[in-house]
């Protein structure tokens, strides 16, 4: 790498040491590797160089870019871990505390009224019986001696 590339890398490393959060690192990443970043500007300048120098300078710039990217990724992981630990420390859960009470719920208002009406009828001497919701064909027709071809047995009449 040339002296200007070394200076740029050292400048980046100094600024990285001053960074104290992932946001600051993101700003650094944009400053050096963004669309109008310093390394990107160096890469754009390659077009003006002769072919012999392009290979050498291009390799040096790509090496610089790789070092900066690696450094930013390592710092991002460090700050992400640091922020996660801070969050975990601030959100500690005391397992010795009693749990919160969960309400079992209540009956639907219509069910409450139906139960109340049933109690009233029971107190008056009535009986409550349950039966099938749908009656079978035998009990509707056969048990009542309705013939097989009676009009009441047609599907449109049921």
- If asked whether residues 13 and 63 sit together in one domain, one would say yes
In tens, the pLDDT along 28-55 reads 888 888 888 888 888 888 888 888 888 8
Q: Which of the listed residues 60, 90, 120 is the one where a domain comes to its end?
A: 90
pLDDT score of 124:
97
Q: Which has the closest alpha carbon to 9: 84, 62, 67, 70?
A: 67
Task: Specify whether the backbone of 122 is left (phi greater than 0), alpha (psi in -120 to 50) or beta.
Answer: alpha
Domain-embedded: residue 98: no
Domain-embedded: residue 100: no
102 burial (CB, 10 Å; 0-12 / 13-18 / 19+) is exposed
pLDDT score of 130:
85
Q: CA-to-CA distance for 158 and 144, rounded, in angstroms?
A: 16
- If asked whether residues 81 and 123 sit together in one domain, one would say no
In tens, the pLDDT along 100-152 reads 888 889 999 999 999 999 999 999 999 998 888 888 888 888 899 999 888 88
Helices marked H in the chain: 3-18, 22-33, 38-44, 51-90, 109-123, 137-140
Domain-embedded: residue 85: yes
- pLDDT over threshold 70, residue 1: no
Domain total for the chain? 2
Q: Which domain holds residue 53?
A: 3-90
- If asked whether residues 119 and 83 sit together in one domain, one would say no
Residues 6+ apart with CB under 8 A from 58: 43, 46
Q: Which has the closest alpha carbon to 16: 61, 76, 86?
A: 76
- pLDDT over threshold 80, residue 92: no
Domain-embedded: residue 123: yes
Domain-embedded: residue 128: yes
């Amino acid at each position: 790498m040339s002296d200007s590339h070394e200076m740029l890398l050292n400048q980046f490393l100094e600024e990285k040491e001053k960074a104290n959060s992932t946001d600051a690192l993101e700003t650094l990443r944009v400053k050096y590797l963004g669309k109008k970043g310093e390394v990107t500007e160096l890469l754009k300048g390659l077009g003006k160089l002769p072919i012999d120098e392009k290979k050498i300078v291009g390799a040096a710039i790509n090496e610089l870019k790789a070092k900066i990217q690696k450094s930013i990724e390592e710092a991002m992981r460090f700050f992400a871990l640091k922020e996660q630990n801070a969050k975990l420390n601030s959100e500690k859960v005391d397992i010795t505390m009693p749990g919160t009470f969960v309400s079992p719920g209540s009956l639907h208002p219509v069910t409450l009224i139906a139960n109340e009406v049933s109690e009233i009828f029971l107190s008056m001497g009535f009986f409550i019986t349950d039966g099938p919701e749908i009656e079978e064909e035998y009990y509707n027709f056969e048990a009542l001696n309705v013939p097989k071809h009676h009009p009441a047995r047609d599907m449109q009449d049921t």
